[in-house]
């Protein structure tokens, strides 16, 4: 599977060879070689930032309708041919076909929403004690650096790239080296075809060296990173002395709470989706199932039944619902968490086995609260279940995690659950829905160890995240001072 656009190339003022040679892209399900793309190094990064800085002047100064038109056209092109992206998401990231289609839809929505962001009011008229015009306005940073992950590579890149472009920034994107096409090069091709001027977007597949150079570069004042909490901490530590604006969207160990009055069968369906979708490789995955003791046996049995029935295999097969974990390292981590937790006293109810990178959906019951399965972000298709006796205990368990990204409350009394939401420390709370949820119009992000900085989604959040605020005053004649 090859393409002429990015064959042995990076995207930086056109399709050019990477200075570090080439990167082989393989399918995690089969080990098949999919393509060879360019591999960038720090020198490529320096040239890209210089080019982006130069191109941003015209892009940021262009009428907003020009920026909106490019993003709108990209959305239309992708709507007309979803396979141009889905065809890479399936083999490259191990996405089941339904997940790939869903992700493409998210990218389309993001592009349309950000086309509208380009025309959003950029500021606010302020009162002043002086006879003058006083206002605050949003202005682009200049060059925004984006580091995107492998799991939902297209949307998690585009939700930073599109709003940054919409408000007039240039962008340097480093996709995960395991998904450089769906997470970067295919997006560059799409935006290039939509009319994005040369030099405004650069896509540099590369390793840690490129990421470190992007964080440290003095001409990249804003960095948007999506990835693990340990990596986010390292980036924050490196960027802090440089006084950069850093937006970190990090991991989660999200709680799904089944309240005493919940419909157990419906709750088990939500729980299975929340833990198993895309092999659990989602920051919003439900990693902790808190179930009232009166319901826990029935819930666990239903969840295990669903786990046993999920088709797992090569995602190029349309009947498959779960594909492979991304690589051997992730497999070792997931399997190690499960094995260690069973050794610590958890009871294996379903799954816990694998063929190659194909890990069966797994349900653990009676999970000790000090076990790895309860304490860590697993990033695999594992559902740890714990019983609680009263709602106060459940809320304490929810808030006891260092993470704070997404929480699900399942109940027959939605309004009572809304009141409980006031007590939950989380960036998102979903009543009677999955922990896994995202919309282009909604501000998304976490608190505590799940993230810091701006939010993604919606005009207000995107303007705040990808712009600086400038205060401007205007008087008809110079102010008179006593000296």
pLDDT digits (tens, 9 = 90+) for 118-175: 999 999 999 999 999 999 999 999 999 999 999 999 999 999 999 999 999 999 999 9
| pLDDT exceeds cutoff 90 at 1 | no
Whether residue 398 contacts residue 374, with contact meaning beta carbons closer than 8 Å, is answered with: no
pLDDT for 312: 98
Residue among 92, 192, 249, 377 flagged as catalytic: 249
Q: Which of 44, 88, 5 shows the shortest CA–CA distance to 204?
A: 44
Write the CA distances from 475 to 134, 292, 471, 472, integer angstroms: 9, 65, 14, 10
Q: Which alpha helices (DSSP H) does 63-152 contain, by range?
A: 64-80, 83-93, 97-117
d(CA 8, CA 308): 42
Least confident of 68-72, 195-199, 384-388, 455-459: 455-459
pLDDT for 4: 72
3-state class (DSSP) for residue 37: strand
Whether residue 417 contacts residue 431, with contact meaning beta carbons closer than 8 Å, is answered with: yes
| pLDDT exceeds cutoff 60 at 203 | yes
Overall average pLDDT of the 289-312 stretch: 98
pLDDT for 226: 97
Task: Provide the CATH number for the domain formed by 254-431 in this structure.
Answer: 3.40.309.10
d(CA 76, CA 55): 25
Query: Residues for the chain: how many in total?
Result: 483
Task: Note the pLDDT tens digit of each residue in 324-337.
Answer: 999 999 999 999 99
d(CA 289, CA 466): 35
Overall average pLDDT of the 344-371 stretch: 98
Q: Which of 218, 216, 203, 222 shows the shortest CA–CA distance to 153?
A: 203
Q: Which of 79, 29, 23 shows the shortest CA–CA distance to 203?
A: 23
| pLDDT exceeds cutoff 90 at 376 | yes
Residue among 114, 222, 283, 467 flagged as catalytic: 283
Please list, in sequence order, all residues whose beta carbon lies within 8 angstroms of the beta carbon of residue 178, skipping any fewer than 6 positions away. Answer: 28, 92, 93, 150, 326, 327
Task: Note the pLDDT tens digit of each residue in 229-262.
Answer: 999 999 999 999 999 999 999 999 999 999 999 9
- Which residues in the chain are classed under CATH 3.40.309.10? 254-431
Overall average pLDDT of the 348-372 stretch: 98
58-65's contacts with Cβ under 8 Å and 24+ in sequence apart are: 58/197, 59/165, 59/168, 59/169, 59/170, 59/197, 59/200, 60/140, 60/142, 60/168, 60/169, 60/170, 61/168, 62/168, 64/118, 64/119, 65/118, 65/119
Please list, in sequence order, all residues whose beta carbon lies within 8 angstroms of the beta carbon of residue 292, skipping any fewer than 6 positions away. Answer: 258, 259, 260, 262, 387, 388, 389, 394
Whether residue 269 contacts residue 355, with contact meaning beta carbons closer than 8 Å, is answered with: no
| pLDDT exceeds cutoff 50 at 2 | no
Query: Catalytic residue at 222?
Result: no
Write the CA distances from 196 to 148, 220, 467, integer angstroms: 20, 20, 20
326: Cα within 13 Å, side-chain hemisphere: 21
Kindly report the CATH class assigned to 10-250+450-472: alpha beta
| pLDDT exceeds cutoff 90 at 384 | yes
> Angle, nearest 10°, between helix axes 459-466 and 97-117?
80
What b/e readout covers 231-263, taking b as 16+ CB neighbours within 10 angstroms?
bbebbbebbeeeebbbbbbbbbbbbbbbbbebe
What is the dihedral sign for C-alpha 424, 429, 435, 436? negative
Extract the tokens encoding 255: 């709680």
d(CA 179, CA 154): 9
pLDDT for 255: 98
Whether residue 56 contacts residue 196, with contact meaning beta carbons closer than 8 Å, is answered with: no
pLDDT for 101: 97
d(CA 432, CA 278): 21
Overall average pLDDT of the 411-417 stretch: 96
What is the dihedral sign for C-alpha 451, 454, 459, 460? positive
Overall average pLDDT of the 64-80 stretch: 98
Q: Which of 122, 21, 25 shows the shortest CA–CA distance to 64?
A: 122
Average pLDDT over the chain, rounded to whole? 97
Overall average pLDDT of the 27-41 stretch: 97
d(CA 253, CA 406): 8
User: How many helices (DSSP H) and strands (DSSP E) are in the chain?
Assistant: 15, 24
d(CA 427, CA 443): 9
Extract the tokens encoding 73: 């056209």
Query: Catalytic residue at 467?
Result: no
pLDDT for 3: 54
- Which residues in the chain are classed under CATH 3.40.605.10? 10-250+450-472
Whether residue 454 contacts residue 466, with contact meaning beta carbons closer than 8 Å, is answered with: yes
pLDDT for 75: 98
Overall average pLDDT of the 424-432 stretch: 97
| pTM of the predicted model as reported, rounded to 2 decimal places | 0.96
What is the dihedral sign for C-alpha 24, 25, 30, 32? negative
């Amino acid at each position: 599977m090859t393409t002429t656009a990015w064959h042995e190339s990076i995207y930086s003022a056109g399709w050019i060879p990477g200075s570090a040679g080439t990167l082989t892209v393989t399918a995690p399900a089969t080990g098949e070689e999919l393509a060879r793309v360019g591999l960038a190094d720090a020198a490529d990064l320096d040239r890209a930032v210089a080019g982006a800085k130069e191109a941003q002047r015209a892009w940021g100064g262009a009428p907003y309708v020009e920026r909106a038109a490019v993003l709108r056209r990209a959305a239309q092109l992708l709507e007309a041919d979803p396979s141009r992206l889905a065809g890479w998401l399936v083999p490259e990231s191990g996405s089941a076909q339904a997940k790939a289609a869903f992700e493409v839809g998210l990218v389309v929505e993001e592009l349309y929403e950000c086309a509208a962001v380009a025309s959003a009011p950029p500021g606010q008229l302020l009162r002043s004690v002086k006879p003058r015009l006083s206002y605050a306005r949003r202005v682009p940073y200049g060059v925004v650096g984006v580091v995107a992950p492998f799991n939902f590579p297209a949307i998690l890149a585009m939700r930073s790239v599109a709003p940054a472009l919409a408000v007039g920034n240039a962008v340097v994107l480093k996709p995960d080296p395991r998904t450089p096409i769906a997470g970067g090069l295919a997006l560059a091709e799409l935006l290039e075809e939509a009319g994005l001027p040369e030099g405004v977007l650069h896509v540099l597949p590369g390793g840690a060296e490129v990421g470190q150079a992007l964080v440290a570069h003095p001409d990249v004042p804003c960095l948007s990173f999506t990835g693990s909490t340990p990596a986010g901490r390292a980036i924050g530590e490196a960027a802090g002395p440089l006084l950069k604006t850093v937006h970190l969207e990090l991991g989660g160990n999200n709680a799904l709470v089944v309240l005493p009055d919940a419909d157990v069968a419906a709750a088990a369906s939500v729980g299975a989706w929340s833990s198993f979708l895309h092999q659990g490789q989602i920051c919003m995955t439900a990693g902790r199932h808190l179930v009232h003791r009166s319901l826990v046996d029935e819930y666990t049995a239903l969840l295990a039944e669903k786990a046993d029935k999920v088709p797992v295999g090569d995602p190029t097969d349309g009947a498959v619902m779960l594909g492979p974990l991304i690589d051997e390292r992730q497999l070792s981590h997931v399997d190690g968490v499960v094995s260690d937790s069973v050794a610590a006293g958890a009871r294996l109810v379903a799954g816990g086995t694998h063929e190659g990178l194909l890990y069966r959906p797994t349900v653990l019951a009676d999970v000790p609260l000090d076990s790895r399965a309860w304490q860590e972000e697993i990033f695999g298709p594992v559902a740890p279940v714990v019983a609680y006796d009263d709602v106060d205990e459940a809320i304490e368990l929810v808030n006891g995690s260092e993470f704070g990204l997404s929480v699900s409350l399942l109940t027959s009394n939605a309004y009572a659950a809304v009141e409980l939401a006031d007590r939950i420390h989380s960036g998102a709370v979903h009543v009677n829905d999955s922990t896994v949820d995202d919309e282009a119009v909604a501000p998304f992000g976490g608190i505590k160890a799940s993230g810091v900085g701006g939010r993604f989604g919606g005009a207000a959040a995107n303007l705040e995240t990808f712009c600086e605020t400038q205060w401007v005053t205007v008087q008809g004649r110079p102010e008179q001072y006593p000296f």
